[in-house]
Structure 1
């Protein structure tokens, strides 16, 4: 049996490849409440059932940065498990609302990659991740550059 190996090396990434991540997460009310408390986001749209009755969606919205954090986490086993560092996040877009009990999935496309100029034992992988819900509706997208070791 092969032991579980976290992440991929620079050479393992192929430009144009789309990775469908195996991990997923259902967002429970407790997740949203704890994240709201930890991040000091006490907006009633995330925590107050009476308030949201008069809001556009009529139900509690999950904190957008929780969805972002989950999407990043879902990608770790495939994208950044062997990372030296996440260098940059860009173009974070909230594409649709996320509600309590939605399940988040993600897929990532490898947009580009290149060796670093200062140290050729590592390279930068540039990817775009799209998170989507159980209805296969895209809910979030972002791009990032990850510094990853060569084999």
Structure 2
């Protein structure tokens, strides 16, 4: 009897199935230090207890994407170990900050299944929740992945495609308790630009670029306990390359966006996203953003801004995002749509 885990295949999923993922993870200041070493993350709220306290929080929480990566990483052995591709995200919301000392775990519900026409794979939709040690949800999102079948002859399940919102309604954004930007220090934050300075349709070239190194992306992916073979095993792909974890590109692009969006302090929702093309070591990642929408919040001095974050291997936004065939241009790595909180 084998005791090793080959991962789930497409025919192993059923609608309504609840998967409780191993292994809970207690996070500490070490995660923050490593995160800021791996990415040029400089947003003040996540760098300084004093800045966070002046913004109404008890201390500096861990970066929102640390929570995302840890919650996501837990799901990999059960959801995407045998995945061909991670296809997209929707309806993501950060529900409360994660603090050093919190213990995070993940659980997922299968909400959609659709076999591909080739009969060799299918798409699985899951809604994943990250919970802390008090069983309070800290994060909730939907993602869908293309997963191999173990047996191509296995019967196809009934097709269920979930109806997902295109955007999280701003009235459903969860603002951290006590957050108050009325005394916001723009000098210490790094830029003078506030919510009212940004216009819908405005594009911001974040200027800087960072070349991805093999060791760094593997260190980052191990940090999140993401076990997907394509990120570590050079024999897993015919070209002998290790695929960069898509979340590594998300964090790199978000960190690069500081130049122009230093005051987009907290990510509170993930409306959608696509890993448009693969990223490999040696690629230089650049980023630009587009302002898609703005909304008021009930928190004092706090506005919500909806941003499209695009990561590329080309020179900023000098090329079309998509070709005439509707496909992403080969230079595009990431197309991410999210809500952030900013001082008004």
TM-score by length of 2: 0.42
Tell me, in whole angstroms, the C-alpha distance in 1 between the residues paired with 2:50 and 2:6. Answer: 44
Aligned-residue offset at 1:103 = 0.8
Aligned-residue offset at 1:75 = 0.5
1:145 aligns with 2:144: yes
Aligned-residue offset at 1:18 = 0.8
Tell me, in whole angstroms, the C-alpha distance in 1 between the residues paired with 2:79 and 2:8. Answer: 7
In 2, are the aligned partners of 1:15 and 1:112 still within 8 Å (CA)?
yes
Write the deviation string for residues 119-149 of structure 1: whole angstroms up to 9, x where unpaired.
2110000110000100100000111111001
Which residue number in structure 1 is paired with residue 43 of structure 2? 43
Q: SS at the partner of 1:101? A: coil
In 1, are the aligned partners of 2:106 and 2:131 still within 8 Å (CA)?
yes
Aligned-residue offset at 1:114 = 0.9
Tell me, in whole angstroms, the C-alpha distance in 2 between the residues paired with 1:51 and 1:65. Answer: 19
Tell me, in whole angstroms, the C-alpha distance in 1 between the residues paired with 2:2 and 2:55. Answer: 51
Write the deviation string for residues 47-106 of structure 1: whole angstroms up to 9, x where unpaired.
212222323222121111111111110011111111111111222210111111111111
**Alignment of structure 1 residues 66-81 onto 2, 5 Å:** 66-81=66-81
In 1, are the aligned partners of 2:93 and 2:141 still within 8 Å (CA)?
yes
In 1, are the aligned partners of 2:44 and 2:51 still within 8 Å (CA)?
yes
Gaps of 5+ in 1: none
Tell me, in whole angstroms, the C-alpha distance in 1 between the residues paired with 2:74 and 2:6. Answer: 12
Q: Bigger relative contact order, structure 1 or 2, given CA contacts below 8 A and separation 6+?
A: 1
Cα 1:54–1:90 shift into 2, 3 Å: same
Which residue number in structure 2 is paired with residue 99 of structure 1? 99
Gaps of 5+ in 2: 151-344
In 1, are the aligned partners of 2:50 and 2:59 still within 8 Å (CA)?
no
Tell me, in whole angstroms, the C-alpha distance in 2 between the residues paired with 1:71 and 1:57. Answer: 23
Aligned-residue offset at 1:39 = 2.6
Of 57-66 and 104-113, more deviation after overlay is shown by: 57-66
Structure (1 or 2) with the larger CA radius of gyration: 2
1:52 aligns with 2:89: no
Q: SS at the partner of 1:73? A: helix
Q: SS at the partner of 2:134? A: coil
